[in-house]
Structure 1
Amino acid sequence: MLSINQYVRPQSLDEAYALCQKKNNVVLGGMLWLKMQSRTVGTAIDLGGLGLDTIEETETAYRIGAMVSLRALEKHAGLNALTQGAAAEAVRHIVGVQFRNCATVGGSIYGRFGFSDVLTLFLALGATVELHHAGELPLSDFIALPRDTRDILVRVNVPKTPVQCVYLSQRNAATDFPVLAVALRGRDGAYTCAVGARPMPAMAFADEKELLAGGVTEENARAFAADIASRCAFGSNRRAGADYRRKICEVLVRRAALALNGEG
């Protein structure tokens, strides 16, 4: 059971950041995973009054506020046009519409959960995060930060550079956490593949051998998939073993590459 001693709705990011520095204080996010914990929180910090629940479009990026719901991400026409529907595909399996109306992008990203579909997609897209204190940094660098880093995630920025994108996942049940997730981005002949639910946090891999550089074929899609699976580290949990995940990775990466070529 989660117990909260004090609830505060800060009037500024500076106030929220100051409150966040105390170890026993917690930013609420969407509260969907937090409420399942058995702990006592000193001060619960609600960012709902700071205007972070919008998706802004600039000439170069989509700026996604930390309090934007996963449902808003799923339904956003611009993001889905940019990603050829991958934004919606990455979240549509997450429990149900009611859940996605409450779950937030900030909560999904800041937790750096191994099972996070959202983290996997944004990593492949080359997104950056804006932290109130540390500033803007690549999502890949944020994932590597120590777990005890105490900052406020303000927004996630997704570049508007035209890309090809595919998101695929394997699940034991339709609304369960993924056994493995793959997001593949192609841009100007270069490819980046993010592998999530390893079950550790997602990792991104470039096509270092340029296996797909000449255009995707069945043969080089298989070679690319084998290369990614060989470079990625996998672990075991109750959903699947490491060896199974490696085999599934090859399958999903190959399918994603062929889907980019219109063959999926």
Structure 2
Amino acid sequence: MINIQNYVQAESLEEAYQLNQKRSARILGGMLWLKMANITVGTAIDLCRLGLNTIEETPELFSIGAMVTLRQIELHPGLNAYTGGAAARAVQDIVGVQFRNMATAGGSVWGRFGFSDVLTFLLSMDTSVVLYKGGVVPLETFAAMKYDDDLLVRIQIKKRPGVFVYQAMRNQRTDFPVLACALSRVGDEYRAVLGARPGRAMVIRDEEGILSGGITAKSAEDFAAYAAERTPTGSNSRGSAAYRTHLVRVLTRRSALELGGMEIWK
């Protein structure tokens, strides 16, 4: 059971940052995972007063505050228009509506969990995080970084022309994914993102141009094999490494075929 000794609603990002420098401090998101930890928190820092619970849309980008809930992402019309509904599909099977009403985008990205549908999907786009001290960092770089005491303030998605697909295999609908797959074409680049390997999501780019001549049944199968060869997998209670490698091929092929029939957002 978690034991919180001191609770503070920060009045500024600077106050939150200074409080977070102590090893016993924790930034609060939705508290859906943190509350299950058997730890003592010296100072729990709540960002609820800092206006980070909105999705701001401009002609160039989406800016998602760290305290935005997964439900807000699921229902945002602009984000779903840009992604062809893939944003909603990426989060709609995460436990239930009540859970998604509390789970935050910032907590999902900061955690960099291997099972994260959110991280997997965001990596398929031109996404960066805005850190209070670290500034703007590409999400792919951030996902590989070690945890530190900085603050994740916002998530930015550039509105580059593209198409996006999200698929996942679950043993039951609201369980963690056995394997997650996001496939996209952003500009002229095709990329597959494989999550729940069960390791942290990784990006596989079409560096050999397998899909550059168009998506057909053969090119989709070839790219799926290419992705499977380059995606390390492991075993846990949800599935074996061999099963996950098989799923990489299946979900990547299905996603590529779905992507091939979609119109590029411009």
TM-score (norm 2): 0.97
- Map of 1:9 onto structure 2: 9
Percent of residue pairs identical: 54
1:233 aligns to what?
A: 232
1:11 maps to a residue whose letter is: E
What is the CA-CA distance between 1:189 and the residue it aligns to? 3.5
**What is the alpha-carbon distance in structure 2 between the residues aligned to residue 54 and residue 41 of structure 1?**
27
Deviations 1:228-259 (A, max 9, x none): 11101111111111111010010000000000
Contact residue 25 and residue 43 of structure 2 kept, 8 A: yes
The answer for the alignment partner of 2:28 in structure 1 is 28
Equivalent-residue separation in structure 2 for 1:188 and 1:136 (angstroms): 21
Q: Is the 8 A contact 2:160 2:187 kept in 1?
A: no
Distance 2:32 2:57 in 1: 28
How far 1:21 moved relative to its partner? Answer: 1.1
SS of corresponding position for 1:246 = helix
For 1:11-45, what per-residue CA distance to the aligned partner results, in whole angstroms no more than 9, with x for missing partners? Answer: 00011011111111000101001001111100000
For residues 156 and 180 of structure 2, the distance between their equivalents in structure 1, rounded to whole angstroms, comes to 21
Partner of 2:65: 65
- Which residue of structure 2 aligns with residue 44 of structure 1? 44
Gaps of 5+ in 2: none
Q: CA deviation at 1:126?
A: 2.2
Tell whether 2:246 aligns with 1:256: no
Match of 1:217 in 2: 216
Shift of 1:262: 2.0
- SS across alignment from 2:155: strand
Correspondence list, 1:1-264, <5 A: 1-147=1-147, 149-262=148-261
Structure 2 letter corresponding to 1:188: G
| Aligned equivalents of 2:258, 2:23: Cα separation in 1 | 45
1:84 shift after superposition: 0.5
Code of the residue aligned with 1:219 in structure 2: it is: K
Confirm or deny: 8 A CA contact 2:179 2:197 kept in the other structure. Answer: yes
SS in 1 for 2:218: helix
Whether the 8 Å CA contact 2:128–2:139 is kept in 1: the answer is yes
Instruction: Report the Cα offset of residue 59 of structure 1.
Output: 2.3
CA RMSD of aligned residues (A): 0.9
TM superposition score normalised by structure 1: 0.98
- What is the rounded CA distance, in whole Å, between the counterparts of 2:200 and 2:189 in structure 1? 23
* Cα shift readout 1:42-75 (whole Å, capped 9, x = no counterpart): 0000000000000001221100000000000000
2:198 is aligned with what amino acid? P
